[in-house]
Structure 1
Amino acid sequence: MNNREHRHLSEIGVVKLVTLLQEGHSQQEVARRLGVSQSVVSRAWRRYRETGIYHRRQGQGRKRKTTYAEDRLLRISAKRKRFCTARELKNDLQLATGTTVSTDTIRRRLSEAELKPYRPATGPVLTAGHRRARLQFVHRHADWQIEDWRHVLFTDKSRFCLSTNDRRRRVWRRPGERFVQCAIQEVERFGGGSVMVWGGITFEDRTNLVVLNRGSMTAVTYRDDIIVHVVEPFGAIHGTRFVFMHDNAWPHIANVVRQALVAANINVLERPPRNPDLNPIEHLWDNLDRKIRALENPPSTLHELSIRLQEVWTAIHQEEVAALIQSMPSRIADCIRARGGHTRY
């Protein structure tokens, strides 16, 4: 903030002001030297001559409507019920203490404690069993370094809609123009159709992006289209240290798939359920979707969407992929600290 925006001077500043004025300097010169407006100098000088004191007199503003104990109760209630509204907190305060305040007062009191409303982070539902499984997995791999993770093929499938609204896009508008036609983003119902794809990444390489034409995956199609045609040739290229990582979705753990992996002599690292934060390819899916939406001519048909997905997937720089895999030790450490719960990833 610029010093000339200050409306008041500290007690030391007033002492300097009085001294300079008593030495014969003009109010305008004192204001310039202290970096304040001349009106600030005038008020401080008049107050000193009337009272003989250097500090400001106590203000006579409106009396605070809540006590310290009530403020503390509000803070505790907001921390215990993180998703409650200001109106709900207002009603709880009135029921507990009889004090009636506005919702704006509730928000101001919480803001004083640095409690402000934000859009919440999202994550999958984690039961106690999910947390235990996640914690067991990260403890088993707590000692793994980048050299260990660089040989892992992280795989997953994802669905991309032809039309979607992820709430990231913004529109310039004036107050009252929310429903002006030029400011409305039109979205097809159910996304206008979707394309399911499968892919895998390692520190130095990635698989081709496989478009699942039937839109779903069974154990047999997973074995034939993914394991046999993609994973086995990919593993043969990368040697004996190659590790294949997928989750424990039913098509992945079916007997026909396990037998195919054993027959191909592929080392498998199965992830526990509900762990998108422990698979760096999840972030790549998000980046892939953003790149598709940012195209100058976005796809208008499912066939075009499939082609564009494969083109953008191929064009992604490997450094971007490597940076995601380099975060694996940090992901493991964060999950341990969270005791198997949600992490920032």
Structure 2
Amino acid sequence: MNVNRTTIFRLRQRLQETNTVSDRPRSGRPRCTTQRQDRNLVRNHVKNRFLSASASSCQTRGRNNQRISANTVRRRLSTSGLRARRPYIGPILTQCHRHQHTLWAQEHAAWDRIQWRSVVFSDEFRFCIDHADGRVRV
């Protein structure tokens, strides 16, 4: 197994004492929010997608009426599956638009390389390396 003998001995001893080889609970810093507060944070952010983590941290008090940080709010939202995304800015496609897109694709499905060479595809993207661009995330 390529493991030290003492490791095997300790695991066997722990199995005999506790009927499991998993780690025992350790002491650590207690969470600053309760499970109920975590659920309320998630519910508030689902209702209001534009609510920032810093604004939510100012509104929420943790255990013993202590202030929680914005990073704590972000961690709680992340563990529940919510992540920051940029909001969609653009026209909302209707059924008519989707039908027209499908017709266009079907008309151009048989094009060969020579016909596609006359088409210019452009993908514009803005890169901001030095500073924050001020875009809102939801």
Q: What TM-score range do you get, normalising by the shorter chain?
A: 0.5 to 0.7
Change (3 A) 1:43 1:88: farther
Residue type of the alignment partner of 2:107: R
Q: Is the contact made by 1:93 and 1:99 (CA closer than 8 Å) also made in structure 2?
A: no
1:146 corresponding residue in structure 2: 103
Residue type of the alignment partner of 1:78: H
CA distance in 2, matches of 1:43, 1:102: 40
What is the TM-score when the length of structure 2 is the normalising length?
0.58
Q: How many percent of aligned residue pairs carry the same amino acid?
A: 25
Matches within 5 A, 1:1-345: 29-31=1-3, 38=4, 42-43=6-7, 45-46=9-10, 48-49=12-13, 52-53=17-18, 54-55=20-21, 56-94=23-61, 98-124=65-91, 138=96, 146=103, 150=107, 166-168=125-127, 178=130
Specify which structure has the higher proportion of helix: 1
Specify which structure has the higher proportion of strand: 1
CA distance in 2, matches of 1:144, 1:107: 38
Residue type of the alignment partner of 1:138: C
Q: Is the contact made by 1:90 and 1:103 (CA closer than 8 Å) also made in structure 2?
A: yes
CA distance in 1, matches of 2:102, 2:125: 35
Change (3 A) 1:45 1:65: farther
Q: Is the contact made by 1:94 and 1:100 (CA closer than 8 Å) also made in structure 2?
A: yes
Larger RCO, structures 1/2 (Cα 8 Å, 6+ apart): 2
DSSP-derived class of the 1:84 partner: coil
Q: Is the contact made by 2:58 and 2:68 (CA closer than 8 Å) also made in structure 1?
A: no
CA distance in 1, matches of 2:7, 2:67: 38
CA positional deviation for 1:68: 1.0
Residue type of the alignment partner of 1:108: R
Change (3 A) 1:88 1:43: farther
Q: Is the contact made by 2:57 and 2:69 (CA closer than 8 Å) also made in structure 1?
A: yes
Residue type of the alignment partner of 2:84: P
CA distance in 2, matches of 1:119, 1:150: 33
> Which structure 1 residue ranges, 5 or more long, are not aligned?
1-28, 32-37, 127-133, 152-164, 172-177, 180-345
CA distance in 1, matches of 2:101, 2:73: 48
Aligned length: 112
What is the TM-score when the length of structure 1 is the normalising length?
0.26
Higher Cα radius of gyration: 1
CA RMSD across the alignment: 4.0
> Which structure 2 residue ranges, 5 or more long, are not aligned?
109-123, 132-138
